[in-house]
Chains A and B, each alone.
With several copies, the nearest count.
Chain A
Amino acid sequence: MYIKSLELNNFKSFGGMKVIPFLPGFTAITGPNGSGKSNISDAILFALGPKSSKVIRAGKLTDLIFNGGGEGQAAKKCRVSLIFDNTNREVPIESDEIRLTRVIKISQTSDNYYSYFYVNGKISSLGEFEDILSSTGLFGHGFNLVQQGDINSIALMTSTERRKIIDLVS
């Protein structure tokens, strides 16, 4: 079981459609400050559907939609798909790959937005995402995704906050 690729469509600074192939083994991502490296880790967290938008460093979920950058047009929606291998059928779905897709769309009328979940192209829900993910072992509660700044905040936290980390993973 591994992640095959990540598709970003107008997600944060990734305007347009961009595909990042993920290979087994050890991949490094580098680039100048502000080039969009941490936005990739935000995209993975977004696709997994965490409840809080703090995790994705945004005020509100619509801040995740490509704002047009310097000269372009702001997009109206963003879509992220996380595609992983399922040849061993760890997830009980008849398909060699599983594609989890999440969409945020600004509503035409008000300041609202719509949030959609899809599994292999069919409409789904956050609940189904969580079921699928728990059978993959891709994202347990074992702190396997270490965001920028996490190490520094652990170094500076109080002893009670540090103990709470163990509560969380129990």
Chain B
Amino acid sequence: KREGFFSLYWPIREEFCTMYARLSNGGTADMLLENEQDPFQGGLFIRAKPKGKRTLRMESLSGGEKSLVALSFVLAIQKVKPSVFYLFDEVDMFLDGANAENVAKLIRERARQAQVIVISLRKAMIMEADHLYGISITKPGVSEIIGKVSPELLEVKSEAHDG
């Protein structure tokens, strides 16, 4: 059980540092186990140092900075346990324009090796997709799929956020 945990923990930790450095354009992050002898007795601490700042605990980061760290953690797990299919539902919700673009580009890269579906309201994400579906309510309370449209055409786009 302990071996099983560590066989995943070390690669996830390594990937996590790489992912965060990439998504934050040069920040650094690290994971620390509260109890390395017996990890199941303690928690997992994450420290992040956004570019140009001091190292901070997860609690002192801003809303957007926290969600970038959480996303890096998830992307690291996915990298260590790869799949042929990924779905991301509004993972870019807390991010400003620049961060949303970084995340969209990284997910675009994932889509080279696997099938990726994202649900998003953000232009930065929608612009990266190969195919775009709009969902809308036509009859009261009934969802319809507007079908494959090019990103430029879709009416919903004006709903989407830019940047």
Interface residues of chain A, those whose CB is within 8 Å of chain B, are: 1-3, 12-16, 18, 20-41, 44, 57-59, 63, 67-72, 136-152, 154-156, 158-163, 165-167, 169-170
Not counting A31-B136, A37-B119, a sample of 10 additional A-B residue pairs whose C-beta atoms are within 8 angstroms of each other reads: A1-B84, A2-B84, A26-B111, A27-B117, A28-B118, A136-B84, A142-B82, A147-B89, A155-B66, A158-B43
Which label, helix, strand, loop or mixed, suits the secondary structure of the B interface? mixed
B123-151 with Cβ < 8 A to chain A = 125-126, 128-137, 139-146, 148, 151
Say yes or no for B83: interface residue by CB 8 A criterion.
Answer: yes
A27-B133 contact, Cβ under 8 Å, with A18-B144, A154-B70: yes
- Verify B118–A26 contact, CB threshold 8 A: yes
Q: Which residues of A contact B78 (CB under 8 A)?
A: 142-144
- Verify A40–B119 contact, CB threshold 8 A: yes
Q: Which residues of B contact A21 (CB under 8 A)?
A: 148
Docked pose: A116 CA to B86 CA in angstroms = 26
Docked pose: A25 CA to B130 CA in angstroms = 7
Q: Which residues of A contact B46 (CB under 8 A)?
A: 159, 162
A146-B135 contact, Cβ under 8 Å, with A30-B156, A166-B12: no
Docked pose: A167 CA to B135 CA in angstroms = 36
Whose C-beta in chain A lies nearest to the C-beta of B66? A155
Q: Which residues of A contact B125 (CB under 8 A)?
A: 28
Q: Which residues of B contact A166 (CB under 8 A)?
A: 5, 8-9, 12, 44, 77
Interface residues of chain B, those whose CB is within 8 Å of chain A, are: 1, 4-5, 7-9, 12, 33-34, 39-40, 42-46, 50, 52-54, 57-71, 73-74, 77-78, 80-91, 93-99, 107-108, 111, 115-121, 125-126, 128-137, 139-146, 148, 151, 154, 156-157, 159-160
- Could you tell me the distance in whole angstroms from the C-beta of B61 to the nearest C-beta in chain A? 7
Q: Which residues of B contact A36 (CB under 8 A)?
A: 135, 137, 143
Q: Taking each of B62, B73, B116, B137, which has the highest tally of chain A beta carbons within 10 Å of its own beta carbon?
A: B62
Docked pose: A163 CA to B9 CA in angstroms = 9
Partner of A149, one of B52, B63, B128: B63
